Structure 1
Amino acid sequence: MLNHLQLTPIQQLGRAVKQTQYRQHRALENALAAAGTTLAQWDALRAIARTPGASSHDLAVATFQTDQAFGTLANRLVAQGLIERRAGEGRRIEHYLNKQGEHILANGNDLANQVLADKFAALNATEQKQLLKLLTRLIESDKTDE
């Protein structure tokens, strides 16, 4: 009989993915602080840069946040002078990076690339591609969170 305190192999896999993500996020938070931003802010800037004019809801989905949490974050980004919000059709509010936001995003991207290269350095390029392929397959096979 399996000891109820012992992790099964599938639980070990889930925990390893979570530990990897946690350590990556901690390292990114620390590095991004040097660029004057946070992981959540940098992620929002990336999402806005990828889809200029996107709505708050679309950006919330893209950054794994609730609409309310993204709205609060967007207000902070406006107050910091990193993004602009403009009226769109109907009640839609569109989001755009400004020059300061583009600068913070570029610095954050450089720092993130360094952190991620360090975090994945234990895997060679082929292993990194394989891991990405496997994780992508898992993401594409599970559409329950959309």
Structure 2
Amino acid sequence: MAGDLQALGRAIKQAQHRHHRALDTRLGAAGTTLAQWDALRAIDREPGSSARALAEETFQSEQAFGTLANRLAARGLIERTPGRGRLIEHRLTAAGRRTLAAGNEIADSVLAESFAELSAAERKTLQALLQRVGAGLRN
């Protein structure tokens, strides 16, 4: 049983690793990286969010997200403005929206390729199962 669970965990990690490698390689055509595109995506979903919230959303430390946000701001892809108290709010610029849109097209292509062997029903089932996995785990 334990070996089966470890094999399952490894298969999930392997699929994620393949997605990340393909995305990172192909996102270069849009002038971005996987980490940058993911940050733009998070900011687009929740404009005005703090670095702490965005770090959590992108599975990064606050420090790592802050470094990434500084690079995105230097490239003119996001704006960082003072918010309530000491919070810094993040928003996409027009250039950031264009980069995000180009990245989204690439990601859609990579993921369509990856999941092509699964029917729509199988993809829906896989998504539901993965959302249940680890839901009860605590740090």
Q: Could you say whether these structures have the same fold, taking a TM-score greater than 0.5 normalized by the shorter chain as the test?
A: yes
Match of 2:105 among 106, 110, 114: 110
Q: Mark the runs of 5 or more structure 2 residues left unpaired by the alignment.
A: none
Match of 2:46 among 48, 51, 63: 51
Match of 2:4 among 4, 9, 13: 9
Q: Mark the runs of 5 or more structure 1 residues left unpaired by the alignment.
A: 1-6
Per-residue deviation, residues 75-103 of structure 1 (Å, max 9, x unmatched): 00001110000001111100000000000
Q: Is the aligned partner of 1:95 residue 2:90?
A: yes
Match of 1:26 among 21, 26, 35: 21
Name the residue aligned to 1:40: 35
Give the TM-score, by structure 1 length.
0.92
Q: Give 1:139 shift.
A: 4.2
Q: CA RMSD in A?
A: 1.1
Name the residue aligned to 1:120: 115
Larger radius of gyration: 1
Q: Give 1:30 shift.
A: 1.0
Count of residues in Structure 1 that have an aligned counterpart in Structure 2:
138
Q: Which aligned segments of 4 or more residues in structure 1 are displaced greater than 2 angstroms?
A: 139-142
Q: Give 1:140 shift.
A: 2.9
Supply the distance in 1 between the matched residues of 2:117 and 2:16 (Cα, whole angstroms): 15
What secondary structure does 2:135 align onto? helix
Calculate percent identity across the aligned residue pairs: 58
Supply the distance in 1 between the matched residues of 2:118 and 2:55 (Cα, whole angstroms): 32
